[in-house]
């Protein structure tokens, strides 16, 4: 096998850097944050504002360092925000204001 293919950074199957790492097989409970992000994703899908394919594309477009630093649902939320900004559903100013008002 060509171990160093020009794969995209999210395309992790068979990546040599993980060969010697254990696999976490424990079940993890969803946090309230995780559930809320999932609910937002479902609402956007039901209203035909964003598909799961667009969600995935947005996740894969995250900078490599962010992709590996963020949790699974944090990646989703970043992608959702990017998609909504690109579509004009929300503006940068609205997002900044909402983030600033967080306790």
Residue 74 three-state SS = helix
29 belongs to the binding site for another protein (CB under 8 A): no
30 belongs to the binding site for another protein (CB under 8 A): no
61 belongs to the binding site for another protein (CB under 8 A): yes
What does 15-68 look like in DSSP terms, one character per residue?
-GGGTTS----S--PPPHHHHHHHHHHHHHHHTTS--HHHHHHHHHTS-HHHHH
Q: Burial of 75 by CB count in 10 Å (0-12 exposed, 13-18 middle, 19+ buried)?
A: buried
63 belongs to the binding site for another protein (CB under 8 A): no
60 belongs to the binding site for another protein (CB under 8 A): yes
| Candidate segments 38-46, 48-56, 67-75, 92-100, binder of another protein by CB under 8 A | 48-56
What is the C-alpha to C-alpha distance for residues 21 and 90, in angstroms, rounded to an integer? 40
57 belongs to the binding site for another protein (CB under 8 A): yes
Work out how close the CB of 102 gets to another protein at its nearest, in angstroms, rounded to a whole number. Answer: 29
- Site of interaction with another protein (CB under 8 A): 1, 5-8, 11, 13-14, 51, 53-54, 56-57, 60-61
């Amino acid at each position: 096998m060509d171990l160093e293919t020009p794969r995209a950074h999210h395309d992790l199957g068979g990546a040599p850097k993980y060969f010697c790492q254990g696999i976490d097989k424990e079940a993890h409970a969803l946090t309230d944050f995780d559930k809320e992000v999932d609910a937002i994703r479902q609402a956007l899908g039901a209203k035909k504002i964003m598909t799961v394919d667009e969600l995935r594309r947005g996740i894969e477009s995250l900078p490599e360092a962010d992709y590996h630093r963020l949790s699974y649902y944090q990646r989703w939320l970043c992608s959702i925000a990017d998609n909504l900004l690109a579509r004009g559903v929300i503006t940068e100013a609205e997002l900044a204001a909402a983030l600033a008002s967080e306790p």
